[in-house]
């Protein structure tokens, strides 16, 4: 289902559309539930027949035969109940899994700005706890609704055939109780939605606190984190309290109607007996049917609570599925193939969220195989420019082309396949070193991974580890040193082997000796490839074909190392400052 289809359809229809892939399981679940309802409806009739005919006429053999058959029916009922409990929940879980799959895939399509605006904990909540109630709703919802309605109608029909006056009284009570239940359900639905919002908030705080636990300990700020968590937890408790109040009103109202129904039936039934319009056997049968009748009413009440919770989660799911990525491929977008590496940035203007411009009319031509170093003060726009080339963000105006093709006319996936990026903040997955390197080429062989590790100067370190390539790197690579993490990421790029490289402070976490080794590897890798290097440490970019200086969102100068030193501009100032600091540290 596309984003446009999600925008057009109502949430409940979207939810029901997920049933189609598992319709056989759904049919089995509902059929078994209906058979259970039929067995429940038959027992009061059997009891009435026994009291009217079998026992008064001393048909004892028939009576005990019927009782044995009734036991057999209840054995069947227990088997049907197993099917409903097991396969019904299996159906619900499969529906939930399909919804989670689509949500995750949609999140993968979202642009960088979506993740700039949404915290990880909130998105995790939408992928997990928000969808949990959908399993119960998918399983119990249709089953309880169908069987409860059929049971109530069946019970009313049988009761009407016994004594229509008393059945009419029961029938009048139904719309009144349903009206009250629906009224209470609305307030419960609102409270449930508020609870989910607060749950997402506390999940965000937990995710933030756990991610920053090392920083909290380093600053001895455990009490600050406890206070922040407690504040979020109090908000959650308040939301839960409101929900439980609404739920309390809901169930107390329902129980009042159900218990008073018994009193009304006995009272009015006794009145009819006094007038000779009913006998004791029929009143006993009515009482049994009221017991049969109250069970589906309770199910309907539970369904209302379940529906409120499930719809709250469903609404939050639909909200994201209706959100379109800000950057989308054109309908006729073609893959970028046979990339040579010519890059042209033409008069590009860019602003995050349409706010203050970060880049102002930047133009840059990079020839295939050329190495360009980009330098300048922090916040000048270096990283922003390099994020626009892979189309992580959309230019506000101007254009960027690769091999003469506007990046807006080709698929994003093909752009990303042909560009390799190593960033200063390296992200490693909580997996082995082998899998983290192989992420650059998921079908790579062991030999290819080993070769990439050697070229990235990380092979010797890996072989010195207890499990070698099977070594677990920890959450975000915390079990490795900063230099090791950087070199694993560099090995990943060696394995990917793209025609265009973007190195964003790629050697910043390395010591001088390792940096020299990696620099040689980069020089070899850059041969025949277009390479953009963002660097603060200017000693690493002397061999670049050109050095571009960016400050305040504009290119201030461009040339070779020697040319820019001669000009005496921003680059020369940065170079002299770094040399002075190096000399000072040596002293």
CB contact at 8 A, 112 and 326: no
Question: Which residues, 6+ apart, have CB-to-CB distance to 387 below 8 Å?
Answer: 112, 393
**pLDDT score, position 63:** 81
> CA distances (Å), 524 to each of 97, 196, 341, 494, 513, in order?
46, 53, 17, 11, 17
Does the domain at residues 3-321 carry the CATH identifier 2.40.30.60?
Answer: no
Give me the residue spans of the domains in the chain.
3-321, 335-418+500-587, 426-497
Average pLDDT over residues 207-222: 66
Q: What percent of the chain has pLDDT over 70?
A: 89
Question: Which residues, 6+ apart, have CB-to-CB distance to 393 below 8 Å?
Answer: 111, 112, 113, 327, 350, 352, 384, 387
Q: Is the pLDDT score of 509 beyond 60?
A: no
If one compares 367 and 253, the residue with the highest pLDDT of the two is 367
What's CA 152's distance to the chain center, in Å?
A: 39
For the question of whether the overall pTM of this predicted structure is more than 0.85, the answer is: no
Average pLDDT over residues 464-492: 82
Average the pLDDT over each of 43-57, 146-160, 181-195 and give the range with the smallest value.
181-195
The CATH class of the 426-497 domain is alpha beta
Per-residue confidence band for 239, with pLDDT thresholds at 50, 70 and 90: low
335-418+500-587 in CATH: which number? Answer: 3.40.50.300
Per-residue confidence band for 401, with pLDDT thresholds at 50, 70 and 90: very high
Tell me the average pLDDT of the chain. Answer: 80
Residues 526-554 have pLDDT tens digits of 777 898 988 776 666 767 888 888 888 88
Q: Is the pLDDT score of 517 beyond 70?
A: no
Q: Is the pLDDT score of 52 beyond 80?
A: no
Residue with the two structure tokens 């093709």: 405
**pLDDT score, position 402:** 92
> One fold for both 3-321 and 426-497?
no
Q: Is the pLDDT score of 124 beyond 70?
A: yes
Q: Is the pLDDT score of 455 beyond 70?
A: yes
Per-residue confidence band for 378, with pLDDT thresholds at 50, 70 and 90: confident
Q: Is the pLDDT score of 201 beyond 80?
A: no
Average pLDDT over residues 327-338: 87
Distance CA 325, CA 115 (A): 11
If one compares 454 and 220, the residue with the highest pLDDT of the two is 454
Average the pLDDT over each of 314-323, 355-364, 561-570 and give the range with the smallest value.
561-570
If one compares 318 and 299, the residue with the highest pLDDT of the two is 318
Nearest to 348 by CA among 366, 337, 360, 332: 360
Per-residue confidence band for 560, with pLDDT thresholds at 50, 70 and 90: confident
Per-residue confidence band for 580, with pLDDT thresholds at 50, 70 and 90: low
Residues 63-91 have pLDDT tens digits of 888 888 888 888 998 998 898 888 888 88
**pLDDT score, position 357:** 81
């Amino acid at each position: 289902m596309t984003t446009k289809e999600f925008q057009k359809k109502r949430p409940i229809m979207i939810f029901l559309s997920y049933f189609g892939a598992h319709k056989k399981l759904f049919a089995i679940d509902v059929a078994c539930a209906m058979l259970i309802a039929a067995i429940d409806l038959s027992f009061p009739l059997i009891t009435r027949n026994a009291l009217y005919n079998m026992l008064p006429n001393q048909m004892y053999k028939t009576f005990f035969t019927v009782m044995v058959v009734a036991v057999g029916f209840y054995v069947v009922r227990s088997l049907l109940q197993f099917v409903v409990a097991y396969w019904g929940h299996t159906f619900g879980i499969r529906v939930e899994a399909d919804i989670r799959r689509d949500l995750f895939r949609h999140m993968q399509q979202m642009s960088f700005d979506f993740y700039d605006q949404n915290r990880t904990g909130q998105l995790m909540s939408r992928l997990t706890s928000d969808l949990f109630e959908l399993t119960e709703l998918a399983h119990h919802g249709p089953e309880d609704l169908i069987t409860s309605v059929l049971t109530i109608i069946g019970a009313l029909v049988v009761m009407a055939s016994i004594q229509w006056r008393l059945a009419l009284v029961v029938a009048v009570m139904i719309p009144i109780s349903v009206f009250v239940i629906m009224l209470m359900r609305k307030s419960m639905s609102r409270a449930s939605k508020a609870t989910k919002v607060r749950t997402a908030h506390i999940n965000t705080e937990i995710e933030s606190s756990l991610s920053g636990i090392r920083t909290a300990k380093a600053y001895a700020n455990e009490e600050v984190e406890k206070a922040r968590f407690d504040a979020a937890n109090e908000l959650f408790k308040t939301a839960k309290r409101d929900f439980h109040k609404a739920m309390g009103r809901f169930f107390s109202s329902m129980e009042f109607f159900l218990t008073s129904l018994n009193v009304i039936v006995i009272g009015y039934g006794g009145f009819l007996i006094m007038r000779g319009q009913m006998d004791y056997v029929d009143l006993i049968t009515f009482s049994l049917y009221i017991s049969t009748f109250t069970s589906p009413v309770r199910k309907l009440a539970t369904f209302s609570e379940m529906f409120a919770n499930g719809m709250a989660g469903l609404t939050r799911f639909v909200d994201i599925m209706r959100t379109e990525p800000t950057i989308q491929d054109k309908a006729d977008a073609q893959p970028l193939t046979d990339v040579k590496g010519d890059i042209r940035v033409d008069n590009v203007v860019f602003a995050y969220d349409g706010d203050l411009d970060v880049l102002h009319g930047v133009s840059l031509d990079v020839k295939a195989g050329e190495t360009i170093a980009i330098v300048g003060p922090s916040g000048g726009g270096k990283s922003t420019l390099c994020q626009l080339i892979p189309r992580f963000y959309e230019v506000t105006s101007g254009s960027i082309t690769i091999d003469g093709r506007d990046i807006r006319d080709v698929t994003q996936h093909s752009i990303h396949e042909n560009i390799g990026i190593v960033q200063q903040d390296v992200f490693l997955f909580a997996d082995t070193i082998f899998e983290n390197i192989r992420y650059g080429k998921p079908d790579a062989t062991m030999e290819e991974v080993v070769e990439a590790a050697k070229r990235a100067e990380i092979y010797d370190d890996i072989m010195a580890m207890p499990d070698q390539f099977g070594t677990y790197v920890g959450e975000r690579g915390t079990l490795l040193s900063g230099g090791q993490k950087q070199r694993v990421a560099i090995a990943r790029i060696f394995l990917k082997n793209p025609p265009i490289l973007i190195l964003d402070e790629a050697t910043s976490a390395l010591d001088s000796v390792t940096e020299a080794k990696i620099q040689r590897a980069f020089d070899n890798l850059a041969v025949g490839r277009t390479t953009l290097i963002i660097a603060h440490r200017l000693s690493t970019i002397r061999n670049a074909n050109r050095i571009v200086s960016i400050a305040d969102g504009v290119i201030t100068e461009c040339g070779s190392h020697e040319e820019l030193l001669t000009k005496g501009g921003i680059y020369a100032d940065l170079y002299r400052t770094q040399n002075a600091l190096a000399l000072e540290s040596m002293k």
